[in-house]
Amino acid sequence: MKFQWTNATKVVLALCGVATLGVLSFTRKGTVTNDIAALRKAYSSGDYKQWPAPMIDPSVKASFQDIGVLPAVSHPADNPSNPEKIALGKMLFYDPRLSVSGQIACASCHDPQLGWGDGKRVAFGHDRKLGGRNAMTLWNVAYYKTLFWDGRAESLEDQAQFPIKDHLEMNQSLGAMEKKVKSFKGYEPMFEKAFGSKEVNINHILKAIACFERTITSGKSRFDLFITGKSDALTDQEVLGLHVYRTKAGCLNCHNSPLFSDNQFHNDGQTLWGSKNEDLGRYNVTGNKADIGKFKTPSLREVANTGPWFHHGNFPTLKDVIFFYDLGNPAPIQDKYKGTARDSLLPTTSPLVKKLNLTDEEVNALVAFLGAITTTPRRLQPPVEFPQ
C-alpha cells in the first residue's frame, strides 16, 4: 500500500473506538481494466446492458438497483405540491422566529451556500450549544424512505417537528410556535393561497416546509449527462473512478440506486464506542442489538460540497473517506470491554466493509468521480422580508 497517512486519517482512526476488525486478510482481486476508451464507450452508450457487470455481494442482490438518473420527485397524496405552498414553505424554512430565541431558522443549519448543511463537524443551535451529530445535507431528501442518521422520522412532514422541539436546536414547543406564526398576520394570505384556508396550524406549517424541501433536488450532474450519451462529459480519471466505484471498491453494495443510497442502515465501524462521542445510531430507535452502530447510507450526490463527512463529521476530506474504506476499517478491538457490563452492546462492523487494496490512481479516481456527481451550486435567493 503506497498512500501516505494523513494526520486527519490518523485522528479519525484513533477516534474510532472499538469496531471489529472485519476480515483483514480478505483480498479481492480487482478486475479493473485500464482500457478507458472501452469503458467510456460502454458507460456512455445509454444502455445498461453494455455496462460492465457490477461487483456486489450476494447478500445485496435481491434489493440491488444500479446507479443512474434520478426519477421525478413524487409527493404524498395528502400533501400535493403547488407553487404557493413551496413559497410558504421556503419562507418558514428561513424564518428564525420559529425558534424560541427568534434567532435560529432551519436555514441556519441547512444553508444552500454550504451544501444545505452548515459546514461544521457537528451543528450548534440554541444558546450555541453543540449537538451530537453532523447537520445532514438536504440535497435530494425527497428520495429517502426515512430521515435522520438513525432513520427516526418516517416522512419530511414528520421530521420537521423534531428540530423545532429539540432543546439543542430551536427549542420551541409546537403549540408556542403555532401561536407565534399565527400572530404574524402577514402569513395568512400565504396559507390561504397554499391550502385554500387562511387557518394557520401546525399541520399546515409542517406540510409547507416539507413541500419546499422536496424541491431541493440535484440538477443533472456530469455523470448523468455521460450515461445518457454525452460521452465527453467525464474525464478519463472520472471514467476510471466510476468503474472502480461499481466494481473493485464495493461502494455499490450500499451507495446504489440513482440516489447513490440503498435507503438502508449499515455499520461502517464509526460508533466511536467507549468514547464520549459514542453513538449507537439506529439501535437507539429500534432497541434491536443487530442495529448497534448502524447509520443511514447517505446519498453521495452533491457530496463534494457537503463536508465534513459522516454522522460525526470527523472526516475533513473525501480522500480521508476513501483511505478509510480502503483499509477496511482496521480499528483496534478494545478487548478491555470484553466481559464488562456493556459488552453485549459491542458493535459489529458490516462484512460489506472490506480491505480493498486500491492503488493511488484508483483512490484519486474515486475522489474525482465523487466530483462528477456533484453539481455547480445554484444561487437561491433567501427571503428579504418576513411577513409581519
CA distance 10 to 66: 33
The binder of ligand HEC chosen from 266, 282, 301, 355 (CB under 6 A) = 266
Q: Which is nearer to ligand HEC, 229 or 286 (CB)?
A: 286
The binder of ligand HEC chosen from 17, 22, 115, 125 (CB under 6 A) = 125
Cβ proximity of 98 and 164 under 8 Å: yes
Q: Which residues 151-210 are close enough to bind ligand HEC by CB under 6 A? A: 156, 159-160, 163-164, 169-170, 209
* Cα 281-286-290 angle, rounded to 5 deg: 70
Minimum distance between the CB of residue 229 and ligand HEC, rounded to whole angstroms?
25
Minimum distance between the CB of residue 192 and ligand HEC, rounded to whole angstroms?
22
Instruction: Answer yes or no whether residue 254 interacts with ligand HEC by CB under 6 A.
Output: yes
357 by Cβ neighbours in 10 Å (0-12 / 13-18 / 19+) ranks as: middle
The binder of ligand HEC chosen from 218, 305, 306, 314 (CB under 6 A) = 306
CB atoms within 10 A of CB 240: 24
Binding mask 51-90 toward ligand HEC (x if CB under 6 A, else -) reads ----------------------------------------
- Nearest C-alpha neighbor of 277 from the set 131, 120, 147: 131
Instruction: Using the rule CB under 6 A, give the single segment among 30-38, 108-116, 188-196, 378-386 that binds ligand HEC.
Output: 108-116
Instruction: Tell me how far CA of residue 184 lies from CA of 83, 139, 276, in angstroms.
Output: 21, 30, 43
CB atoms within 10 A of CB 231: 15
The dihedral built from the CA positions of residue 290, 137, 325 and 333, taken in this order, carries a sign that is negative
Q: Which is nearer to ligand HEC, 233 or 358 (CB)?
A: 358
Q: Which is nearer to ligand HEC, 174 or 229 (CB)?
A: 174
CA distance 60 to 317: 28
The binder of ligand HEC chosen from 17, 298, 328, 371 (CB under 6 A) = 298
CA distance 177 to 375: 35
CA distance 206 to 352: 37
What the block records as the C-alpha cell of 149 is: 442518521
Q: Which residues 359-378 are close enough to bind ligand HEC by CB under 6 A? A: 366
* Residues in touch with ligand HEC (CB under 6 A): 104, 106, 108-110, 123, 125, 131, 133, 135-136, 138, 141, 144, 147-150, 156, 159-160, 163-164, 169-170, 209, 213, 249-251, 253-255, 266, 268, 270, 295, 297-298, 300, 303, 306, 309-311, 318, 321-322, 325, 350, 352-353, 366
